Amino acid sequence: MSQNLIHSLFRKEVLAMSAYPVADPGKLIKLDAMENPYQWPEQALEQWLKTIKNSPLNRYPDPQAKSLAAVLKTLYQVPTESELILGNGSDEIIQILLMALAPDAHIVTPEPGFVMYKQIARSLGLNYHGIALNAEDFSLDMPAMLAAIEQYNPALIFLAYPNNPTGNLFSEQQIKILLQATEGLVVIDEAYAPFTDATFMQSLTDYPNLLVMRTVSKLGLAGLRLGYMVGDKNIIAELDKIRLPYNINILTQITTEFALQHGDFLTRQTQTLRQERDALLQQLLQIEQIKAFPSSANFILFKSLNKDASAVFESIRNQGILIKNMSAHHPLLENCLRVTIGTEQENALFLSALKKALH
Ligand SMILES: Cc1ncc(COP(=O)(O)O)c(C=O)c1O
């Protein structure tokens, strides 16, 4: 089809976008996407295979994923007044939320932040405003956030807690000030919940405009694509009208439920990753040629102080390890790279590759 015809068919926002880039890891050690590097224990795998053996693949899945939703509610102490919506990854929940808003709605979020907020908001033609974080420690620029609330009266504010790609937790007090200052919804995106004890789940009853979003991806189930969001029953009921009826496939429903109920090993793995993160940060802090930022997630952001980040990234890749070069994502990320916490051995290999790359 001719480009002219294509241009006449699609919205200008879509034409102006680029697809979300995902690097092909080939045989590289993959420390770029905040995945859990560990496998399931053999015994758990065998039990799981027995569980899925009789799945009715010929039938549509339960449209409400009732059994899985009940397990999630109990496990994560979802307040009884709140309701839950499930998505094909939290990416889909972000999409559902934004699709439900009025076409002239304004969205506010601190930057640098998770790119899908902007990508989806822009694709839908919504008014997106990224508010720069404070440069020295990536904390919220409160005067700027409050001014944005005043100026745009945003329908929705996204706050990733901890934030991706900076890894820090914003101040709980400041978030509560924003929750009170805005008339719109505030989504606390707790994608990295397995790596911190901080959560807003228990504040849901205090703030009717608060929505808490999570995912099982970082816990160790990224391949299943399951995200969920908790909030006021009436808000969730509206969003549920936009959700496609069978968005959570049967294998994801059964497997996630199984993993959460037999998932002591996942908890042990995330505990190990927390220790590995703290150990790696200590090592990175000793390297003079970089500035490493503290993290409450399963990744660490660091800035190359003398060498161009692209050269550091390439050198590490040539040594067999894939991390993420964040330089182009935001002016505050100039010369910054992000490494996902891997196994002890992978982290050691990364550290020695980084040291070589910096020389
Ligand atoms: C802050 C944040 N939210 C949401 C997601 C998306 O998670 P999911 O795999 O559930 O789509 C990510 C993934 O990197 C993230 O960093």
* 46-68 pLDDT tens trace: 999 999 999 999 999 999 999 99
The predicted structure's pLDDT at residue 80: 87
Question: Ligand 1 pocket, 90 CB below 6 A?
Answer: yes
Mutate which of 72, 90, 98 for ligand 1? The one with the most ligand atoms within 8 Å of its CB, which is 90
Question: Ligand 1 pocket, 34 CB below 6 A?
Answer: yes
Q: Which two tokens stand for residue 214?
A: 């999570």
The predicted structure's pLDDT at residue 21: 80
Report, as ranges of residue numbers, the positions in the chain whose pLDDT lies below 50: none
Q: Which of these, 228, 222, 220, 219, lies nearest to 247 by C-alpha position? A: 228
Question: Ligand 1 pocket, 195 CB below 6 A?
Answer: no
Question: Ligand 1 pocket, 189 CB below 6 A?
Answer: yes
End-to-end CA distance of the chain: 50
φ, ψ at 126 (rounded to 5°): -80, 165
Domain 3-41+265-358 has CATH 3.40.50.2300: no
The predicted structure's pLDDT at residue 227: 98
Question: Ligand 1 pocket, 92 CB below 6 A?
Answer: no
SS3 of residue 256 by DSSP: helix
Report the top-level CATH class of 56-261. alpha beta
Question: Ligand 1 pocket, 114 CB below 6 A?
Answer: yes
Instruction: Give nearest CA residue, ligand 1 atom 12.
Output: 191
Ligand 1 atom at minimal distance to the Cα of residue 215: 10
The predicted structure's pLDDT at residue 329: 94
The predicted structure's pLDDT at residue 183: 97
Structural domain boundaries in the chain: 3-41+265-358, 56-261
Distance 118 CA to ligand 1 centre (A): 13
Question: Ligand 1 pocket, 111 CB below 6 A?
Answer: no
Q: What is the DSSP letter of 224?
A: G
Instruction: Give nearest CA residue, ligand 1 atom 3.
Output: 191
Q: Which of these, 312, 299, 292, lies nearest to 339 by C-alpha position? A: 299
Q: Which residues of 113-136 are buried (b: 16+ CB within 10 A; e: fewer)?
A: bbebbbbbbbbbebebbbbebeee
**pLDDT tens digits for range 114-140:** 999 999 999 999 999 999 999 999 999
Ligand 1 atom at minimal distance to the Cα of residue 165: 16
The predicted structure's pLDDT at residue 269: 97
